[in-house]
Amino acid sequence: MDLIVEYILAALLVIGGVFAIVGSFGLLKLPTTMQRLHAPTKATTIGVGSALIASMAYFWFYEDTVSWHELMITLFLFLTAPITANFIAKAQLHLAVKAEDLPPTGVGTQWATFDPEVEAVGPTLIHDREPD
C-alpha cells in the first residue's frame, strides 16, 4: 500500500511540475496579452494545486493528520485565479478592443463591457463635493 501511495504522490508532483513549467513558459513566450493570461491561470493553477494536493495526501497517509492550511490555500487558489483572470480580461477588452470589432452577441444587445448608453461613474471623495 505504501508503494502505491508513493507512486501516486510522485505522479502528482511530476504532473504539477510539468503544468507549472508549461504555464510559466507560456507566460513568457506567448505573443498577445490574452494568450499570456490563459497560460498561468489554467496551467499554473493546476500545477500548484497538484503539488498542494500531493502534500495534503502525504500528511494524511504518513502523518495521520489533515493539513487544513494547505486545503485552505488550495481552495483560495482555485477560487481566486479564475476571478482575477476574468477581471484582467475585461480590462484588456476595455483598453485594446473596439466595440465594432467584437462579434455579435446573438441576443440583440451589445457586449456588457461596451454598453454606449451607460455612463461611467467615478468615485467621489467627500472633500470634492459641493457644500450643501
Average pLDDT over residues 95-112: 71
CA separation, residue 24 to residues 9, 21, 87, 103 (Å): 22, 5, 20, 30
pLDDT at residue 131 is higher than 70: no
Q: What angle do CA 18, 22, 23 make, to 5 degrees?
A: 115
Among 16-20, 71-75, 88-92, the range scoring the smallest mean pLDDT is: 88-92
How far is it, in rounded angstroms, from Cα 113 to Cα 81? 20
pTM: 0.66
